[in-house]
A and B are shown apart, each in its own frame.
Chain A
């Protein structure tokens, strides 16, 4: 049984915007799944439909074997949602927010309080339990939403950009927490702006663009599709122009830095030999972008002719 199945999911908003044009997607149980796409591609609409916040126009959603149309209550019991925007009452206390959410799932108060303590402790918010939610920092508010989404112990957890605006240290600790949840057997679906996050955490990935799934595969296979990788090389001595290296595309970023596009067919050894022959000494090197990000940009660029001009940037 799959954790989530979408069949020919469509959504046309009242203003005529066709946000989803027939999405087919299967997420297996236990997966750590990334759903990526540029802004306006249809990610949030898809998540909105799955979490019952948006009415679909057509198609079928099945959550752990329960149809969202025919067995809505059972389907909803199985999922927890961490939305992109803060959506709790800012004036309520942290503990009350989590306990109240448990109540919405019919969990009796003693068990709700026990679960609230468990997840607030796990997410480092127990000391803040008596604070009003509005007094929390951005990172704490994100963790509060995760605690709230887990209080009914769902089998499928959907996180819409859970680490947006969170500092690096906290992001890493949230990654560890999510990996722990996945190791316990929970299926996790994640959307994120940080492609490094998707590459680090997720085993499978789907890319959605213009309301359609344009890629749906495991992370390893996807990364193998990356034909060209771009590296930044810091040179020991400044140069006036970029060297000509057959088989490589080289640009001079500034006097001490080269940007080199390396095709998958070429080895890095060849690059360094060619540079050494022309007396270029390389002190350090790094990827210009995360590999997934590079691939993502290329995939999305393939759709450029029909791209929405209002779209801001890749996510």
Chain B
């Protein structure tokens, strides 16, 4: 395929992915908006008003970046894992496998589709948050870079999960039992400096801590960890996951007999 043909194929997958999650918007776009509104009302307003300041900001402002990042993570992961597994389940993956598209194009198309949903939901949550608090983004480029890389990383995670999944249980295990606990324990609702030395050290093993804090640095200008080390780690994981997913796709793991 020429470069232009590959570009057309890539856009075709992205369009198909975006069309899919827009078609089922009550399942994909509405729930995060409602859930996050509840978080803002309950944790931000009711509980937050009694907590006072955290990291030099009122509690509502402090948790907004973490909640945006949580939405981005869950939705970019959820989009790719459910979409790619559905194509396997319905055998429509064969439409792509018989075509001359390279594994690189297929993978990139799915990942960008997941990123679009993650970022779109992040935008919705940001808009909702503006009804509760003011946001003055301190480092716009870092904010955008963290969102882009994190959504790509979790879209890749969803893709790898879907490759190995054999049934619908397999695509809910990781989001429910790994991703959600790591997100909640990743400093979304609190500064990890509040933890004892032991638990703070344990928390630093959680990769989501770095994403939440790097994003919080972009928006509020404060972070519990070194921002540039966080950016480097997210980038390294993204590249690593991309290469792993590409290798699995080339081998035909989980999709070819």
Flag whether B99 is at the interface (Cβ < 8 A).
yes
Q: Which residues of B contact A103 (CB under 8 A)?
A: 8-9, 11-13, 15
A interface list, Cβ under 8 A from B: 13, 45, 48, 51-55, 72-74, 76-77, 79, 81, 83, 85-91, 96, 100-101, 103-109, 148
Closest to B24 in A: A91
Do A104 and B2 have beta carbons less than 8 Å apart? no
The residue that B90 contacts in the complex, of A13, A45, A87, with Cβ under 8 A, is A87
The residue that A85 contacts in the complex, of B5, B91, B98, with Cβ under 8 A, is B91
Rounded to whole Å, the gap between the CB of B187 and the closest CB of chain A is 38
29 CB < 8 A contacts A-B: A52-B98, A53-B98, A55-B252, A55-B256, A73-B100, A76-B100, A79-B98, A81-B98, A87-B91, A87-B94, A87-B95, A88-B92, A89-B90, A90-B90, A91-B23, A96-B19, A100-B12, A100-B15, A100-B95, A101-B95, A104-B95, A104-B96, A105-B99, A105-B100, A106-B5, A106-B8, A106-B100, A107-B5, A148-B95
Q: With A51-B98, A76-B99, A76-B100 in contact, is A106–B4 under 8 Å at CB?
A: yes
Inter-chain CA distance A72–B11, complex, in Å, is 21
Q: Which residues of B contact A45 (CB under 8 A)?
A: 257
The residue that B9 contacts in the complex, of A54, A91, A105, with Cβ under 8 A, is A105
Rounded to whole Å, the gap between the CB of A65 and the closest CB of chain B is 15
B interface list, Cβ under 8 A from A: 1-2, 4-6, 8-9, 11-13, 15-16, 19, 23, 86-87, 90-92, 94-102, 252, 256-257
Q: Which 10 A-B pairs have the closest CB atoms?
A: A106-B5, A103-B12, A87-B91, A104-B99, A73-B100, A76-B100, A54-B257, A106-B8, A87-B94, A51-B98
Do A89 and B92 have beta carbons less than 8 Å apart? yes
Rounded to whole Å, the gap between the CB of B92 and the closest CB of chain A is 5
Q: Which residues of A contact B90 (CB under 8 A)?
A: 87-90
Inter-chain CA distance A91–B19, complex, in Å, is 11
Inter-chain CA distance A45–B256, complex, in Å, is 11
Q: Which residues of B contact A101 (CB under 8 A)?
A: 95, 99
Q: Which residues of B contact A90 (CB under 8 A)?
A: 90
Do B97 and A100 have beta carbons less than 8 Å apart? no
Q: Which residues of A contact B8 (CB under 8 A)?
A: 103, 106-109
Inter-chain CA distance A107–B8, complex, in Å, is 7
Do A53 and B100 have beta carbons less than 8 Å apart? no
Q: Which residues of A contact B5 (CB under 8 A)?
A: 105-107
Q: Which residues of A contact B257 (CB under 8 A)?
A: 13, 45, 48, 53-55
The residue that A72 contacts in the complex, of B19, B86, B100, B252, with Cβ under 8 A, is B100
Q: With A103-B12, A104-B12, A106-B8 in contact, is A88–B97 under 8 Å at CB?
A: no
The residue that B97 contacts in the complex, of A52, A77, A91, with Cβ under 8 A, is A52
Inter-chain CA distance A90–B8, complex, in Å, is 23
Closest to A13 in B: B257
Rounded to whole Å, the gap between the CB of B249 and the closest CB of chain A is 13
Closest to B106 in A: A104
Q: Which residues of B contact A79 (CB under 8 A)?
A: 98
Inter-chain CA distance A55–B255, complex, in Å, is 10
